[in-house]
Amino acid sequence: MRTKSTFLARNAPASTILAQGSNARRRSELANPVLWQQSQLSKPVIGRIILHSSNISRRGNRVMMIASGKSDGVASVSRPPACRPVRAVLLSFLMIAALASFNPANAAGAAEPLGTAAIEDRVQALIPDIEAYIAGGMKGFDVPGVAIGIVAGDKLVYAKGFGVRSKSDGLPVDTRTIFQIGSNTKAFLATIEAITVDRGALRWDDRVVDLDPEFQLKDPWVTREFRVFDLLAQRSGLPPLVNDMLAMLDFDEAALIRSLRNVEPVSSFRTTFAYTNITHLLASRIVAKAAGAPDWNAVLRQELLEPLGMKDSSYTAEAIKTSANHAKGHHWTPDGTIEVPFTPIFPYHLGGAGDINSTVEDMARWVRLQIGHGTFEGRRIVSPENLAVTRTPKVALTDAVSYAMGWYIYQTPNGNIVWHDGDALSFGSFVGMAPDRNVGVIILTNETNVGFPVSLGLWLFDRILGSPEVDYVTNKLKEEKASFETAAKLFAKPANPRPFPPLAPLAGNFVNRSFGEAAVAQDGDALVMEIKATGAKLKLEPWDGDVFTARLMPTGRFGPIVDLSYMTNGFAQFQMGQDGRLDLLRLSTEDGQAYEFRRE
């Protein structure tokens, strides 16, 4: 356990240190956004990235390992040497491997900067190449439908739909077709925070526990020091995708936030990039409370959707399903995409982590606000100073890539690209901007985000800004096919499995501090584990000795969750307690976390 002084001196990003030096000066900086922003920009960003695998692309729902070690809530994970690709919900670490090897010093020199009119001319000249590249990528990834928009200055200069809204109906995609945007919602949440700071209802350095006393992490010091600007910065010290399985099993907001207190940290606070979603659910609750609103979506509509005229945007499964012009989601496999139904559980129960539905035309208005530094059609929506805070790097992933608040910052010879992607499991999206060049790109698809939106987005920026051209789409497709094949082998039964234990003695009632009570009962040649809080059932089938596969059963409202194939498959292992009985059940999930259930 590191001490506070050691943490501050050696591990914390200088951009967010609040526990050294003069308290008065720090608070004066944070009270004055301009002063605070200047102080941020003069400091380095320190950090590293935690990923669950050397294969960053994380294909599929096939990544469970048997846990070892001790923990009250989340156990450490023992991994076989085989590659275990992990798929991150709402965000994919899709291009980080490629970007990690990028060295601006070795790249071709920067192209001559272009004005807005010249950018628009370049876009128009590139349209044949753009449309050909999109067509090739759609064929390779079997993407049913794509909508794309390019903004230059304060104008949407190119927008077009490609393909179909769904394979079943064959209706065409256009620029007003509604898609789920997944984790691109996070930048909306960051901007709402900035607006709330503008209004004086929040401060960036407010302690989260003062705003929401229910918030608690396992480390008491981190609980006390966790600030508003930490909520979206992806450097909490928690495991990546912490407790996302609980979200897929339909635990409510309070239970998801409360579950964080049971999680062992995996890195020092503010030092390491690790992508999480539940911290954004907490941020959603905080901004709603600060605004005196019933929920985050009410604040979203009042502060952004209505002022920007985003009339076709919404935030529920019912809203997208009942729209006359909406895309339907499709799950990607190398053999082709498969249409899947909507569910109110995901991504909608994760609030500001990923619940927005939108169109290219609406998202172009959002990008115009960002390029306009907080002003849209002559009206200031958010101050440029606090909007800039959301784009200030908070933790580094590589020398060229860092994470801010709802945005990645990618340094290129032709200026920074500020971008994010979204993986709503059956929809994928990309939103990116080159703020110095006043250009933005929006890509919406109705297919699992396995790399196509980000690959296409970065290719577009290369072409528009005059950077060296790289065929990201072809490269990514090869990686995903290889990754899928590796992942598909994980659940193959061993050729010579160890003998299975008798099932009847394994049945009984178990409890975990995050999941609550669970009942395990024999069902023929398998076991069924029912999570009492939500009614979700996992089928446990003998696999190798005391190790069982664990698969979510498609019962009731969980049928569509099984179709989405995220956090639905894993392994379970019964282990012996001090009294010689098999009293410990370890459930290992695909994000590498493991949960201990103890027999009651």
Residue-wise pLDDT for 373-382, tens only, equals 999 999 999 9
Quick one: average pLDDT of 158-170?
A: 97
Residue 528: the pLDDT is 98
Which residue did the predictor score with more confidence, 437 or 580?
Answer: 437
Mean pLDDT, rounded, of the chain: 84
593's tokens: 């976390």
pLDDT-wise least confident of 55-64, 203-212, 468-477, 517-526: 55-64
Which 3-state string (H, E, C) describes 288-342? HHHHCCCCHHHHHHHHHHCCCCCCCCECCHHHHHHCCCECCCEECCCCCCEECCC
Q: How confident is the model at residue 32 (pLDDT cuts 50, 70, 90)?
A: very low
Domains in the chain, CATH or no CATH each:
4-44 (no CATH), 67-84+492-599 (2.40.128.600), 96-234+275-486 (3.40.710.10)
Separation of CA 30 from chain center: 28
Residue 113: the pLDDT is 63
Residue 129 CB contacts under 8 Å (≥ 6 apart), including other chains = 463
Separation of CA 143 from chain center: 21
pLDDT-wise least confident of 57-61, 69-73, 260-264: 57-61
Quick one: average pLDDT of 102-118?
A: 58
Q: What is the DSSP string of 246-258?
A: HHHTT--HHHHHH
Quick one: average pLDDT of 424-449?
A: 97
Q: How confident is the model at residue 132 (pLDDT cuts 50, 70, 90)?
A: very high
Contact 443, 148 (CB under 8 A): yes
Residue 21 has pLDDT above 50, yes or no: no
The pairing of strands 508-512 and 439-445 is unpaired
Residue 234: the pLDDT is 98
Residue 88: the pLDDT is 41
Residue 541 has pLDDT above 60, yes or no: yes
Residue 537 has pLDDT above 50, yes or no: yes
Contact 412, 95 (CB under 8 A): no
Amino acid at residue number 443: I
H or E element in which residue 84 lies = none
Residue 492 has pLDDT above 90, yes or no: no
Residue 7: the pLDDT is 21
Identify which of 93, 432, 43 has the alpha carbon closest to the alpha carbon of residue 234.
93
For residue 450, report the phi and psi dihedrals to the nearest 5 degrees: -105, 15
pTM, to two decimals: 0.85
Q: pLDDT by residue (tens digit) across 168-224?
A: 999 999 999 999 999 999 999 999 999 999 999 999 999 999 999 999 999 999 999
Quick one: average pLDDT of 334-345?
A: 95
Amino acid at residue number 539: K
Residue 582: the pLDDT is 86
- Give the three-state DSSP class for 149: strand
Contact 474, 450 (CB under 8 A): no
- Separation CA 140–CA 596 (nearest Å): 42
Dihedral in degrees, nearest 10, Cα atoms 67, 71, 72, 75: -30
Q: How confident is the model at residue 94 (pLDDT cuts 50, 70, 90)?
A: very low
- Separation CA 257–CA 277 (nearest Å): 10
- Separation CA 176–CA 362 (nearest Å): 8
Q: How confident is the model at residue 348 (pLDDT cuts 50, 70, 90)?
A: very high
Residue 91: the pLDDT is 39
- In the chain, what percentage of residues exceed pLDDT 90? 74
Residue 335: the pLDDT is 92
The pairing of strands 48-49 and 272-273 is parallel
Distances (CA, A) of 27 to 24, 39, 116, 226: 5, 12, 39, 15
